[in-house]
């Protein structure tokens, strides 16, 4: 069972604020990178990428899930952060995919949304497994 402990136990609220701000700044920066990658011409993306498209999508949105989890955990606890990270990354992936209609030569692809979601789910499974193992060691 996943225990719902924030990672701010024993620290004062004033000490956690800069840490939380840094976490959200990292999320915002990464989100900007994802939006830029979604709207630049497809030929530019293909030239830079040496990995299969589905793997790039899964990795990108898996990372976003982890970053969202990292930012949310001190605010809402592990369980809620896990749900928020998953929902946030999947939703953002769908939005960035739809943004591609604004770029000539790019198109919305359902398989990209699926790959984004799979990456987010894999990262959630890893985080949940780590939380369960951690609680067993300490419990």
Nearest one of 110, 48, 124 to 82, comparing CA atoms: 124
- Give the closest residue to 40 by CA, choosing from 131, 120, 102, 112: 102
**pLDDT score at 58:** 97
**Are 73 and 7 a contacting pair, CB within 8 Å?**
yes
Question: Is-above-0.85 flag for pTM?
Answer: no
**Residue 44: predicted pLDDT:** 55
Map out the domains of the chain as residue ranges.
14-138
pLDDT value, residue 40: 83
Q: Mind listing the pLDDT tens digit of every residue in the chain (139 residues)?
A: 555 555 444 445 555 567 999 999 999 999 999 999 888 876 655 556 688 999 999 999 999 999 999 999 999 999 999 999 999 999 999 999 998 888 887 888 999 999 999 999 999 999 999 988 888 887 6
Give the number of residues written for the chain: 139
């Amino acid at each position: 069972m996943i225990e719902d402990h924030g990672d701010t136990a024993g620290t004062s609220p004033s000490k956690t604020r800069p840490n939380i701000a840094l976490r959200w700044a990292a999320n915002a920066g990464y989100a900007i990178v994802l939006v830029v990658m979604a709207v630049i011409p497809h030929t530019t993306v293909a030239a830079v990428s040496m990995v299969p498209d589905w793997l790039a999508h899964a990795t990108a949105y898996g990372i976003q899930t982890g970053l969202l989890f990292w930012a949310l955990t001190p605010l809402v606890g592990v369980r809620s952060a896990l749900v928020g990270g998953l929902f946030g990354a999947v939703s953002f992936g769908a939005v960035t995919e739809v943004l591609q209609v604004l770029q000539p030569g790019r198109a919305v692809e359902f398989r990209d949304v699926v790959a984004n979601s799979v990456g987010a789910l894999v990262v959630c499974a890893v985080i949940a497994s780590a939380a369960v193992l951690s609680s067993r060691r300490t419990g």
